[in-house]
């Protein structure tokens, strides 16, 4: 398994990036002997204004977090298990062995974390998710070849407008027939996106969060939606994210 952090070089001069969380993440990865690569790329994200309620300009991060990352993944073996994680709002609570074991338990090619919000909410995506099982792309894990295949379809769909019904079916049914199995970590066994914010359900045992009812212990925390500063003021997160 290879953990990959993709870092925008503008972090060196921009105050939009949380240096404290980044420093803690690197220390934890080393403490847990996580096998990781850090890729620092020069990309200016000028199309991304402040967080809520603003939305990024269309495509503002598409070529950085997808097209550029697709090229990077081309240097890794097709069967490598890739764990992608954001660099400024994530934290590991365990080692590679547990992460890999839990990933395999999903019997999937790719596993995404779950969040309660649809981002970006453009008033059309939620209708496809009546159960609210929205994915979050700040942390995900999967087989490299399957991740890259999914990215290929994303890039192709991003640059076309369907000519007619046959054209649409031609592309979308091919994606379905690729047989890429994607799962969403609804129980937060692997990835805990903290925007869900039901922290009263958790205790701390041996520096790990544990769900009082299910006894599930998440492996990776993600303070998505700009919630890191708030989380550092609240238990139990501030006691485990150190």
Provide DSSP, 29-68: HHHTT--EEEEEE----TT---STT--PPTTTTHIIIIII
Mean pLDDT of the 98-106 span? 97
Q: Which residues pair with 12 in a beta bridge?
A: none
Which token pair is 79?
A: 């069967």
Average per-residue pLDDT for the chain: 86
The separation between CA 25 and the C-alpha centre of its own chain, rounded to angstroms, equals: 15
**pLDDT higher than 50, residue 52:** no
pTM recorded for the entire structure: 0.90
- Could you tell me if 45 and 8 are in contact, meaning their C-beta atoms sit under 8 angstroms apart? yes
- Could you tell me if 225 and 195 are in contact, meaning their C-beta atoms sit under 8 angstroms apart? yes
Q: Rounded to 5 degrees, what angle do the CA atoms 211, 215, 220 make? A: 60
Question: Which CATH code, of 3.40.50, 1.10.3910, 3.90.550, 1.10.150, is assigned to 2-188?
Answer: 3.90.550
Three-state SS at 210: strand
When pLDDT is cut at 50, 70 and 90, the band that residue 122 belongs to is low
Q: What is the pLDDT of residues 59-74, one digit of tens each?
A: 556 677 888 899 999 9
Specify the pLDDT at position 53.
Answer: 45
**Range with lowest mean pLDDT among 24-33, 59-68, 223-232:** 59-68
């Amino acid at each position: 398994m290879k953990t990959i952090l993709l870092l925008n070089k503008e972090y060196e001069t921009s105050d939009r990036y949380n240096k404290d969380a980044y420093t803690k993440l690197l220390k934890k990865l080393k403490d847990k002997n996580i096998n990781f690569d850090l890729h620092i790329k020069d990309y200016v994200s000028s199309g991304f204004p402040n967080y809520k309620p603003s939305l990024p300009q269309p495509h503002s991060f598409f070529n950085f977090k997808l097209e550029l990352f697709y090229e990077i993944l081309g240097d890794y073996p097709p069967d490598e298990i890739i764990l992608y994680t954001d660099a400024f709002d994530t934290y590991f609570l365990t080692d590679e062995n547990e992460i890999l074991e839990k990933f395999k338990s999903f019997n999937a090619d790719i596993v995404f974390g779950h969040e309660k919000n649809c981002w970006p909410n453009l008033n059309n995506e939620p209708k496809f998710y009546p159960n609210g099982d929205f994915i979050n792309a700040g942390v995900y894990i999967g087989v490299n070849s399957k991740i890259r295949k999914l990215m290929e379809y994303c890039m192709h769909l991003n640059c076309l407008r369907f000519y007619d019904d046959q054209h649409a079916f031609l592309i979308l049914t091919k994606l379905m027939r690729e047989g890429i199995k994607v799962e969403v970590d609804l129980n937060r066994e692997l990835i805990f996106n903290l925007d869900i914010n039901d922290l009263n359900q958790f205790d701390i045992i041996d520096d790990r969060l544990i769900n009082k009812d299910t006894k599930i212990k998440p492996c990776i925390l993600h303070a998505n939606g700009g919630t890191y500063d708030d989380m550092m003021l609240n238990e139990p997160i501030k006691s485990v994210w150190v």
